[in-house]
A = this chain, B = another copy of it.
Amino acid sequence: MSFYEKLKFNSDGLIPAIIQDQASGRVLMMAWMNRASLETTLSTGKTHFWSRSRQKFWMKGESSGNVQLVKDVAFDCDGDTVLIQVEQAGAACHEGYRSCFFRSVAGDGATDRVSEPRLQTTEEIYGKK
């Protein structure tokens, strides 16, 4: 039985993919993959996803240059989530932070705080619009 047959894609044909920086252990982002984006991720060694909002296949870093080189692909006991270890170029977050999870809850949910430095501005990542 291949790896793909052990996975459960949801009713939209998607599975959540957690992306983790292999060197630091920092969780960088979570995005959705369909089978084609997962196959391309494995065959090219660069992460590819399916954008639910844009209904579009995309490669991480295609606009920003901040690609993710795949180091390991794991999947969970239920087969409904994948965990991918990567080597991340630059900022993973489109807002210029290393991780999309740059905010943490403070004060029982009443407020939040930024937990890491911003590496790049949006202009630096995507150029002036």
CB-contacts of A1-50 with B (<8 A) = 2-4, 6, 16, 18, 20, 24-27, 29-30, 39, 42-43
Chain B nearest CB from A99 CB (Å) reads 8
| A 74-109 to B, binary, CB cutoff 8 A, 1 in contact else 0 | 111110010100000000011101001111110011
Name A25's closest neighbour in chain B (CB-CB): B25
Q: Are A103 and B74 also in contact (CB < 8 A) when A3-B112, A18-B27 are?
A: yes
Please give the count of copies of this chain that the complex contains.
2
Please, how many residues of chain A have a CB less than 8 angstroms from a CB on the other chain?
41
Contact among B78, B81, B101 for A75, CB-based, below 8 A: B101
Which 3 A/B pairs are nearest by Cβ-Cβ distance?
A25-B25, A76-B100, A74-B101
